[in-house]
Amino acid sequence: MLMATLYTLHIFAVLVWVGGMFFAHMVLRPTAASALEAPERLQLLSGVFTRFFIWVKISIVLLFLSGFWLIMLHGNFGKAGWHVHLMLLLAIVMTVIFGWIYAKPFKALKSAVAIQQWPVGGVAMAQIRQLVAINLVLGLITVVVGVSGRYLMM
C-alpha cells in the first residue's frame, strides 16, 4: 500500500511538472505569441508562471521525498539500479535549472511587468523559454529512464 502510494505521488509530481512544461512551451506560449501584443502577453505569462511555479515547487518536494522513500523500500541507494542513479542526477540538474529560472529571469519578468518595461520583460521571457525547453527535454528523458530503466537493467 505504501509502495503504491509513493509510486502514485511520484507520477503525479512528474505529470504536473513535465506535463505543465509541455503545455506551457508547446501550446500556451506560441498561441500567446501569435494572439497577443507584448504587454498583454507578458502579463499573461507572468501570471501563468507565478501560479505554475508554486506547483513545480510542490512537485519537486514530492519527487525527492517519494523517490528517496522508494529507494529505501527497495533496499538502499547502493542496491538501486543505474536508472535510479541517472534519474536522481537528471532531477538534480532540472531542479538547479528551475532554481535559476525562478531566481533570475522569472524575477526579472515580474519586476519588468510591474513597471511596464516590456522590452526588458521580453528578454527575460526569452530566457525563461530557452531554459524551460531544456528542462522539458531533460524531463522527457527522465521519464524514459524511469519507465524503461528497470527493463534495461544490465
Binding site for ligand HEM (CB under 6 A): 7, 10, 14, 17-18, 63-64, 67-68, 70-71, 81, 84, 87-88, 91, 94, 139, 142-143, 146-147, 150
* Phi, psi torsion values for 153, nearest 5 degrees: -55, 130
Q: 66 is written with which cell numbers?
A: 517519494
| Shortest reach from residue 4's CB to ligand HEM, in Å | 10
| Shortest reach from residue 129's CB to ligand HEM, in Å | 19
Contacts 24+ apart (CB under 8 A), 49-54: 49/24, 49/106, 49/109, 49/128, 50/110, 52/20, 52/24, 53/102, 53/106
Q: How far apart are CA 63 and CA 49, in angstroms?
A: 20
Q: Which CB sits closer to ligand HEM, 25 or 110? A: 25
Q: Which CB sits closer to ligand HEM, 100 or 118? A: 100
Q: Which CB sits closer to ligand HEM, 28 or 71? A: 71
Q: How far apart are CA 72 and CA 92, in angstroms?
A: 19
| Shortest reach from residue 54's CB to ligand HEM, in Å | 17
CA 109 to chain centroid, in Å, comes to 18
| Shortest reach from residue 103's CB to ligand HEM, in Å | 19
Q: Which CB sits closer to ligand HEM, 84 or 128? A: 84
